[in-house]
Amino acid sequence: MSVKKIQSKQQIFIGADHAGFPLKETLRLMLEKDGYDVEDISPVYTPHDDYPLSAKRVAKALQKKNGALGLLVCGTGHGMEMAANRFKGIRAFVARAEQDAILARQHNHANVIVFGGWVTKPALAKKMLCDWLKAKPSHAMRHLRRIKQLDT
């Protein structure tokens, strides 16, 4: 499966805890192969690490780099999602189905996709990541109004 770049050198910050590390590695390799500018904030497997720290580092990187995207992976995805969404301007969601990925990007302008390493098969994660990266944020007034409400 190939993402096929949607933007030249799109920057993607990625991070995982011990439970998400294997899936993160699979997705990292795919993104790098497709030419994305990937910055891995958790490049080494660390047993018993804490998911909030990876989520915080990705969220802070996104706050500093306009237009960048994020990818997080923990055991279920829920911990990373909750931790990332504590930061202003971060709109993280757990992807469970292809339609989740598309609609979260289009309607909610999601800038962080989150997977559960224990519950998401690599082939499905690759497909959802591709769908999310290809989807374009909607500029419909109702979506823009809601994004503004989220970011205030």
**Catalytic annotation, residues:** 74, 107
Give the DSSP H/E element, type plus range, for residue 69.
strand 69-74
Q: What are phi and psi of 113, to 5 degrees?
A: -105, 140
Cβ atoms < 10 Å from Cβ of 56: 17
CB of 79 closer than 8 Å to CB of 51: yes
CA distance linking residue 84 with residue 65, whole number of Å: 15
Give the whole-angstrom CA distance, residue 101 versus residue 129: 7
Q: Which residues contact 29 (CB under 8 A, 6 or more apart)?
A: none
